[in-house]
Amino acid sequence: MLVRTQSIATKGLLASLLGNRAIILSELGRYPEAASAISEGITILDELVRDEPRAFTSDLVTALKNARLTYSISGDHEAAAAAERRLGELRPG
């Protein structure tokens, strides 16, 4: 995958752009495409959080919140619940 050879900053930008794309697609009612974009962004952010947790955990939390909403609106309640569980793992306390 191309992402593996990119710098941390480039990966962060790509994850952000994918999140923005997911929001736009969701607003257009194109939920399967939105879910795909947010899923790809979360995959990138997972890698970034492993390497730089302080820099990217808040971005991952935001992406998971957006994913939860996108999945919920699209009727994929199982995926929404999975995003919620991931959020619970990242939240302190």
Domains by residue range for the chain, with CATH:
8-90 (1.25.40.10)
Q: Are 26 and 34 in contact (CB under 8 A)?
A: yes
Distance CA 28, CA 34 (A): 9
Q: Which two tokens stand for residue 76?
A: 């994929």
Q: Are 6 and 51 in contact (CB under 8 A)?
A: no
Per-residue pLDDT of the chain (93 residues; tens, 9 = 90+): 444 557 888 999 999 999 999 999 999 999 999 999 999 999 999 999 999 999 999 999 999 999 999 999 989 999 999 999 999 998 765
Q: Are 50 and 72 in contact (CB under 8 A)?
A: no
Q: Which two tokens stand for residue 16?
A: 């952000």
